[in-house]
Structure 1
Amino acid sequence: MSLESVVVMGGGVAGFATARELRARGHTGRLAIIDPEGLPYDRPPLSKQYLMGTQDAARLAFEPAEWFAAHGIEVVHGTAAALDPAAGRVTLEDGTTTDAGAVVLAPGAAARRLDIPGADHPGVLELRTRADADRLRPHLRPGARIVVVGGGLIGAEAASAALALGATVDLVEPVDPPLVPVVGPDLARRLHAMHAERGIRVHGSVPVAITPPEAASPSLSTPSDGVRPAGGASPGVVPGPRRVLLADGTALEADAVLVGIGIVPRTALAEAAGLAVEDGILVDAAGRTSHPRVFAVGDAARTRLADGTLLRRAEHWEAALNSGTTAAAALLGQAPPAHGAPWFWSDRHGVHVEGVGRMAGAGTHVVRVEGGVPVAAFLVDDGGRLTGCAAVDGGLTVRAARRIIDRGIPVDPAQLVDPSVPLKKLAR
């Protein structure tokens, strides 16, 4: 396979990491990133700092335009319409084509949609891109009524931001508590309880319909004094749905609805190109797809091991970054980089959550409690090895846990539980 040129299709963290790593590892040929949004930028701040207005669009960029020029990385503002793996040819929606010795697919994932009446209303929003955040931000204001569907990481972060910006928030989540497979049951209960403790109304149900705004709703008109009542639309904001109906009979008034119920990998381009797909673009441990000229990285990729085992898709930021650096090494025929146990982070209501490793499956859950509340949770396998850890405002604990997991250090569950024992002591 010629590496005179490489085209990376997608400018999220996985695509950017692939391009950056190729240059860092010595690739001197043509290198291009094609993305419908142009300059590659980071996504996690969209539901945190960017949504809150504490980080602007310029600071979302992984690097300024000058960096890409200095490193000889062409950024193409466009959308791929077709891929010919045999020829290494990518065709964009505007009809232009580009050829490459290797193609790296990094299309990411789309937000999962509600399949109920009214879900296609323009006031029903999602949060995957900067444009999505820009559509949501004007709705987050004092007096606005926001319904968030989904209590996972994105839903919880957005609900927290909406509340902090003065909106009235209803959170709809049928699982009580969500995130048990990610942080364990004890921390999951603590994190989910934070919503109600801070004034968010939590509903353990599911939406069944969303009604459109009434033709002449008084709440959508501006009174003569120029002051809009609570729930009224701000200038330039699409009026939101009037009501979200839940399966338990509850009706929630809403100026905007944010849906955060998971993601769907973008595989259409790969399928049309004849690549193997099964809830993701199938790749080997190095990111190679079923065609030797094409690799896939990030949220859209799903690893199939040499024995045929299909792993779950990894949907966290660091996993996407690692998949890009691994693919870059494989493209250059170099040894893959070493990666530690998978790690993630999230923020809500002023607390920081981190997790590492596996917190679901076989093993024993143990919990560290301080001041009467769980601050860290661990999963220990039957052989006394730590497989996972999650913590609230416990970055040092999680970093130490990662060293323990990566080194396979045996642990005593009694010491994990004891708040007087620093985890870094166990990592030595």
Structure 2
Amino acid sequence: VIVGGGIAGVSTAGSLRSGGFDGDLTLVDVGDFPYDRPPLSKDFLAGTKDIKQIALQPSQWYDDQRIRLVNRTAVTALRPREARVELADGTLLPADRVVLATGGRAARPPIPGIGSERVHVLRTAGDADRLRTALVPGAAVLVVGAGLIGAEVASTALQLGCEVTLVDPLAAPLEPVLGPELAGWLHDLHTGKGVTTVRAAVESFTDRGEHIEVRFRGRSGEWSYAVVVVGVGMVPQTALAEQAGLEVGRGIVVDSGQVTSNPAVLAVGDPARTRREARAEHWEAAQHDGARAAATLLGSDAPAPTAPWFWTDRHGRHVEAVGHMEWADRTVVRGSFDDPAFSVFGLRDGHVVAAAAVDDSTAVRAARRMIDRRVPADAGRLTDLSVNLRSLLRG
């Protein structure tokens, strides 16, 4: 039984079947069907795609893969000793092994007034539906948090005709993963597109009925908005794991094969964390977790690890990043920040350890291969636009 229908849960199910698993396979999901989450802050929020268009798999796929999809319900208890899983209606499902793909919930920091109906978060399709109705043209919108979700929501709200303010205490959000230059350039992009940026933390919200007043820490006065969106991260859903007595600490603790402290239970995706590492909260990381969990259950070799990768879109620009920019001791730029497309490479000890690019997916793909293969890199050739990056893979 797989608990949760996000990308981690669906990837686990698909990898089990493609790997030859022939037993009973059940996927339990609280929604109507498993859907993709990245579009929630972009196409789905903008109304250019509906819920069926962001389904992770067509409904026929579950039948073809002989996956029993139990939807519109939740798992309320794990009973690994009894080899059972209990649903909200009391139904008991037989489960020799359980995979927890429970995801997370949107973080709500303890800010006075955050419980107002005018304060939104974005984690589910339901959240996006409610937010979309509020993002009417001309509405004054405050987005709290300028990370991936906050920046994407600000961009979409602007696209919908709202007057957008983006607040964050950091001068260059995403600096650890993109480097200071690119992180600063991306944050400045908001201002260039018409978003008002504020460097501050929120002190309080006060609902006045027709609007909500916001006080920023260290600044006098209050500012008035029709809508507030809080995008400051997520909290892993660990309640089931805790109830079952599994080891939990900043997430559900797993080994390299995604196995929890109970060998009958595995965990994948946003809530899973190996003992020595932080949780990875990106789409592809969850997908890879599913493949590793399936390999563990099948007794086969796990896929080779690759450098972490993620993407984001804002104001019509596509951004990708791979590796660990915080590991780099120097960065070099291929192209120019004034070019339509450019990339930044992070180097250490003569090797690429990270890359980030704007509208240049080819550079990130090449960098990923260089990182994974530990190919020596020459900064001059990386920045020479006449050099085909694929030629550098030979070292």
In structure 2, distance between residues paired with 1:422 and 1:124: 48
Superposed CA deviations along residues 175-213 of structure 1, whole A, max 9, x for unmatched, are 010001111111101100011111111010011111112
**Aligned match of 1:243:** 213
**Aligned match of 1:28:** 22
How much has 1:414 moved relative to structure 2? 2.2
Q: Are the aligned partners of 1:341 and 1:357 in contact in 2 as well (CA < 8 Å)? A: yes
**Aligned match of 2:308:** 342
**Aligned match of 1:193:** 188
Are residue 368 (structure 1) and residue 368 (structure 2) matched? no
How much has 1:157 moved relative to structure 2? 0.4
In structure 2, distance between residues paired with 1:425 and 1:262: 39
TM-score by length of 2: 0.96
**Aligned match of 1:11:** 5
Q: For structure 1, which runs of at least 5 residues remain unmatched after alignment?
A: 1-6, 218-240, 305-309
1:110-149 paired onto structure 2 within 5 Å:
110-149=105-144
Are residue 155 (structure 1) and residue 150 (structure 2) matched? yes
Are residue 40 (structure 1) and residue 7 (structure 2) matched? no
How much has 1:361 moved relative to structure 2? 2.9
In structure 2, distance between residues paired with 1:179 and 1:291: 36
In structure 2, distance between residues paired with 1:379 and 1:183: 9
Q: Are the aligned partners of 1:379 and 1:388 in contact in 2 as well (CA < 8 Å)? A: yes
In structure 1, distance between residues paired with 2:382 and 2:58: 44
Q: Are the aligned partners of 2:84 and 2:92 in contact in 1 as well (CA < 8 Å)? A: yes
In structure 2, distance between residues paired with 1:260 and 1:8: 28
Superposed CA deviations along residues 338-358 of structure 1, whole A, max 9, x for unmatched, are 242111110000000001111
In structure 2, distance between residues paired with 1:18 and 1:265: 18
How much has 1:57 moved relative to structure 2? 0.8
How much has 1:117 moved relative to structure 2? 1.1
Q: Are the aligned partners of 1:369 and 1:375 in contact in 2 as well (CA < 8 Å)? A: yes
In structure 2, distance between residues paired with 1:69 and 1:181: 43
TM-score by length of 1: 0.89
Are residue 418 (structure 1) and residue 388 (structure 2) matched? no
2:228 paired residue among 236, 242, 257: 257
Q: Counterpart of 2:320 in structure 1: which amino acid?
A: E
**Higher mean Cα deviation, 87-96 or 117-126?**
87-96
**Higher mean Cα deviation, 363-372 or 41-50?**
363-372
1:375-414 paired onto structure 2 within 5 Å:
375-382=342-349, 384-414=350-380
Q: Are the aligned partners of 1:187 and 1:375 in contact in 2 as well (CA < 8 Å)? A: no
Are residue 322 (structure 1) and residue 288 (structure 2) matched? yes
**Aligned match of 1:303:** 274
1:21-100 paired onto structure 2 within 5 Å:
21-77=15-71, 78-100=73-95
Q: Counterpart of 1:126 in structure 2: which amino acid?
A: V
2:250 paired residue among 261, 279, 297: 279
Q: Counterpart of 1:261 in structure 2: which amino acid?
A: V
In structure 1, distance between residues paired with 2:326 and 2:16: 35
**Aligned match of 1:176:** 171
Superposed CA deviations along residues 252-303 of structure 1, whole A, max 9, x for unmatched, are 2211111111111111110111101110101111100001100000000001
Superposed CA deviations along residues 367-403 of structure 1, whole A, max 9, x for unmatched, are 2342646932121112x11111000001000011111
SS of residue in 1 equivalent to 2:33: coil
Q: Counterpart of 2:137 in structure 1: which amino acid?
A: P
In structure 1, distance between residues paired with 2:75 and 2:116: 27
How much has 1:242 moved relative to structure 2? 1.9
Percent identity over the alignment?
A: 49
How much has 1:362 moved relative to structure 2? 4.9
Q: Are the aligned partners of 1:370 and 1:419 in contact in 2 as well (CA < 8 Å)? A: no
Superposed CA deviations along residues 67-126 of structure 1, whole A, max 9, x for unmatched, are 212221111121111112222321122222212110000001111112111101122111
Q: Are the aligned partners of 2:167 and 2:200 in contact in 1 as well (CA < 8 Å)? A: yes
How much has 1:250 moved relative to structure 2? 4.8
**Aligned match of 1:4:** none
In structure 1, distance between residues paired with 2:384 and 2:136: 43
How much has 1:62 moved relative to structure 2? 1.4
In structure 2, distance between residues paired with 1:326 and 1:363: 32
The 3 A distance-change label for structure 1 pair 24 and 210 is same
**Aligned match of 1:236:** none
Q: Are the aligned partners of 2:311 and 2:320 in contact in 1 as well (CA < 8 Å)? A: yes
SS of residue in 2 equivalent to 1:142: coil
Q: Are the aligned partners of 2:327 and 2:353 in contact in 1 as well (CA < 8 Å)? A: no
Q: Are the aligned partners of 2:77 and 2:87 in contact in 1 as well (CA < 8 Å)? A: yes
In structure 1, distance between residues paired with 2:266 and 2:151: 33
